[in-house]
């Protein structure tokens, strides 16, 4: 793949929820160094920008959503939410990898499509959105793709599965049941979607890079919906 086709780029725009005025920006954000003629033609500079924009917007969101949190807790949450693995999860969910231009054939593309690369591409897309639509456009993209992750983050002492089981037992309900409803992505970077069911309650879903992570996310979603946990917790 030498360059992103208009159809492929339009598909990416649909998935990220932003139509570019300057199509060259998203094209650059999806160009790997292996096919770029210079550093300015690959996503690397956009990644640098997007990383800073992501950190700013997540910081804003944390301050608004957790007004009682200490600086230490906010810093811990921020570090988790902007790390490469989290960005790679967002990239996988949005299938950004299918739009990335690499040098070589399919086998080389698959070998290069690592967690680091997916994370870099996600940050580059944020940078491109910022350059095309400004900070408000970047905020919308980040809020859409990080809001639930912020709420579902278990924290150092916040085990959603354990809490959900204890809550269910306190209500006289059966132990929560977890089911994998979808699995996507390559074997080395899978993406799981899990549904949790608690007796007499509507099911809730979560996603993650591992089954355990997806189960934690699903449990957290149900706890938040039932009011057991709140955003301030």
* Active site positions, annotated: 51, 123
**Tokens standing for residue 94:** 């949005």
Choose among 14, 186, 192, 7: nearest CA to 106: 186
Give the single-character DSSP code of 194.
E
Burial class of 153 by CB neighbour count within 10 A (0 to 12, 13 to 18, 19+) = middle
Q: How far apart are CA 117 and CA 84, in angstroms?
A: 9
Q: Are strands 191-197 and 204-208 parallel, antiparallel or unpaired?
A: antiparallel
């Amino acid at each position: 793949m030498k360059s992103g086709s208009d159809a492929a780029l339009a598909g990416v725009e649909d998935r990220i929820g932003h139509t570019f005025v300057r199509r060259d920006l998203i094209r650059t954000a999806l160009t790997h160094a292996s096919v770029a003629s210079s550093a300015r033609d690959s996503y690397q500079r956009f990644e640098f920008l997007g990383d800073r924009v992501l950190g700013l917007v997540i910081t804003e969101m944390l301050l608004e959503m957790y007004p009682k949190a200490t600086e230490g807790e906010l810093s811990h949450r921020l570090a988790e939410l902007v790390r490469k693995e989290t960005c790679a999860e967002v990239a996988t969910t949005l299938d950004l990898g299918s739009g990335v231009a690499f040098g070589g054939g399919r086998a080389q593309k698959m070998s290069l499509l690592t967690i680091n690369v997916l994370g870099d591409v996600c940050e580059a897309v944020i940078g491109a959105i910022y350059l095309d639509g400004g900070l408000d456009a970047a905020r919308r993209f980040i809020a859409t793709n990080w809001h639930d992750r912020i709420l579902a983050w278990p924290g150092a002492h916040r085990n959603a599965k354990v809490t959900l089981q204890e809550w269910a037992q306190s209500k006289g309900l059966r132990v929560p049941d977890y089911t994998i409803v979808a699995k996507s992505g390559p074997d080395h970077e899978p993406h799981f979607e899990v549904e949790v069911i608690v007796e007499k309650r509507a099911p809730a879903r979560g996603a993650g890079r591992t089954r355990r992570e997806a189960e934690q996310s699903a449990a957290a979603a149900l706890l938040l919906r039932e009011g057991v946990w709140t955003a301030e917790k």
